[in-house]
Amino acid sequence: MVKAVVGANWGDEGKGKITDMLAKESDIIIRFQGGANAGHTIVNNYGKFALHTLPSGVFYSHTTNIIGNGVALNIPILIEEIRSVTGRGVPAPRILVSDRAQIVMPYHILLDQYEEERLGGRSFGSTKSGIAPFYSDKYAKIGFQVSELFDEQLLRKKVADVCEIKNVLFAHLYRKPLIDAAELLTVLHEYRDMIAPYVCDVSAYLDKAVREGKNILLEGQLGTLKDPDHGIYPMVTSSSTLAAYGAIGAGIAPYEIRQVITVCKAYSSAVGAGAFVSEIFGEQADELRRRGGDGGEFGATTGRPRRMGWFDCVASRYGCRLQGTTDVAFTVLDVLGYLDEIPVCVGYEIDGEVTTEFPVTTRLEHARPVLQSLPGWKTDIRGIRNYEELPENCRRYVEFIEAQIGYPITMVSNGPGREDIIYRTSTLA
């Protein structure tokens, strides 16, 4: 049985917590896209961790954790992350890396930095992890697959060819020091030795696992609105954030993905630039940011303050639809317990007309939120385990949002820990 955990919105919905929780019943957890540019925050009995590359199953010794072919693999970051978890008492996790995964090269990171510098104020707010240059090269067919590290002749030739291309940009567009092919080759030899113990034909491994009936969890990064096709292009990430891409980025049959758990946060947050219709500002935003998540809404990778907003039904319904949602995990509901009234964005007004369909980016830039306020519950709901024990206004909030988005909320998260979860039966027909 294959399940996917993905985000409905801009990322930071709490996927790490939900994945960590579901990993308990999983045999295999797979990262299938993205790179070390975003992070999941996980709180468990070993402490609080920000994972960037490792799948969230690494805290359970019964799991196999896989970096799929779709990931932008930063080898030194992966190795460092393995060290950082084992250094804090977590037993050495079982990790496999696809022989078809491609490698984030040192020049990808430089290119990302140089391009942001060149763009100045027009930049995309990249995390400068080399992700966009990495995926550009992958599709330009000048990327390096893990397997290629082990073919010395091919590696030497490719390094020479790539340096020639990159050095034109370095010299003439960015006016920066050139890359030295011999030095790069030495770095790649180091990468080869670091990654060698983990390399695996992942899709063959997963084919066998599926046939044996293993429980497999696909772990998404970011959310629908950051998808390069269906998101708020160009303020998107460079690989697909959709559950459907799990089949490609892991190398399994699409029809094997039986459950798509889409994570939605009880309010909105976003990082980086781009339209964010239900955004709030000033003291109202500061207070939600301060109280949000587990210790405030600040980027897990960058520490940047997140942009804050009310729950957006338009974006979330669209986000759930594109994921092919079977279940919604509704997270961080406990944080809203301080509000007298909770505004929710139920429509977008665009050029004088109200719509509930999420528009293309050009129209999105003109959208204003149509808000509806629901009564708050003004109590701390942490520790509650049964849905019926939640305050009535809190249940009304959940049910209102479920009706608006049209996908069943089967899990409600009311705290950052593994055990802070309430299962419920959806009231949707």
Binding segment for ligand GDP (CB under 6 A), chosen from 93-101, 249-257, 391-399, 409-417, is 409-417
Selected binder of ligand GDP within 184, 217, 275, 335 (CB under 6 A)? 335
- Where do runs of H (alpha helix) occur along 128-179? 131-139, 152-168
E strand or H helix at 204, and its extent? Answer: helix 202-211
Does position 272 interact with ligand GDP (CB under 6 A)? The reply is: no
Gyration radius (Cα) of the chain, Å: 22
Q: Is 15 in the site for ligand GDP (CB under 6 A)?
A: yes
Instruction: Return the residues of window 284-303 that contact ligand GDP according to CB under 6 A.
Output: 293-294, 300
**Token duo for residue 356:** 């509930």
Q: What are the residues facing 348 on neighbouring strands? A: 355, 369
On the CB side of 159, CA atoms within 13 Å amount to 22
Give least dist CB 300 to ligand GDP, A: 5
Q: Which lies closer to ligand GDP via its Cβ, residue 40 or residue 289? A: 40
Q: In a 10 Å sphere around its CB, with 0-12 CB exposed, 13-18 middle and 19+ buried, how is residue 304 labelled? A: middle
Q: Are 32 and 219 in contact (CB under 8 A)?
A: yes
> What's the CA gap between 111 and 26, in Å, rounded?
38
According to CB under 6 A, which one of 6, 23, 36, 43 is a site residue for ligand GDP?
43
Q: How far is the CB of 12 from ligand GDP (least distance, A)?
A: 4
Which structure tokens are listed for 391?
Answer: 């305050």
Site string for ligand GDP, 359-398 (x = CB under 6 A): ----------------------------------------
Contact 400, 409 (CB under 8 A): no
Query: How many residues sit close enough to ligand GDP to count as binding (CB under 6 A)?
Result: 23
Complex with ligand GDP: residue 28 or 266, whichever CB lies closer: 266
Q: Which residues are catalytic, by number? A: 12, 40
Closer to ligand GDP at the Cβ: 278 or 413? 413
To ligand GDP, the closest distance from the beta carbon of 414 in angstroms equals: 5
Structure tokens at 64: 């196999």
For position 55 contacting ligand GDP by CB under 6 A, the verdict is no
User: Which CB sits closer to ligand GDP, 63 or 331?
Assistant: 331
- How far apart are the C-alpha atoms of 114 and 118, rounded to whole Å? 6
How far from 371 is each of 80, 340, 344, 406, CA to CA, in Å?
A: 45, 15, 5, 18
Task: Report the distance separating Cα 340 and Cα 92, nearest Å.
Answer: 47
129 counts as binding ligand GDP under rule CB under 6 A = no
**In angstroms, what is the minimal distance from the CB of 379 to ligand GDP?**
14
Among 4, 13, 81, 402, binds ligand GDP (CB under 6 A): 13
Indicate whether 159 belongs to the interface with ligand GDP (CB under 6 A). no
User: Which residues have a Cβ under 8 Å from the Cβ of 193 and sit 6 or more positions away?
Assistant: none
Q: Nearer Cβ to ligand GDP, position 156 or 304? A: 304
Tell me if 16 contacts ligand GDP by CB under 6 A. yes
Measured distance CA(146)–CA(179) in Å, rounded: 21
Binder to ligand GDP among 3, 4, 6, 7 (CB under 6 A)?
A: 7
3-class SS string, 221-257: EEEHHHCCCCCCCCCCCCCCCCHHHHHHHHCCCHHHE
227 binds ligand GDP (CB under 6 A): no
Binding ligand GDP (rule: CB under 6 A), the pick from 26, 41, 268, 316 is 41
The DSSP call for residue 298 is: B
Tokens matching residue 410: 């089967």
Q: How far is the CB of 262 from ligand GDP (least distance, A)?
A: 11
**How far apart are CB 422 and ligand GDP at their closest, in Å?**
10
CA-to-CA dists, residue 80 to 52, 83, 149, 194, angstroms: 11, 5, 19, 10
Binding mask 312-331 for ligand GDP (x = CB under 6 A): -------------------x
Binding site for ligand GDP (CB under 6 A): 7, 11-17, 40-41, 43, 293-294, 300, 331-332, 334-335, 413-416, 420
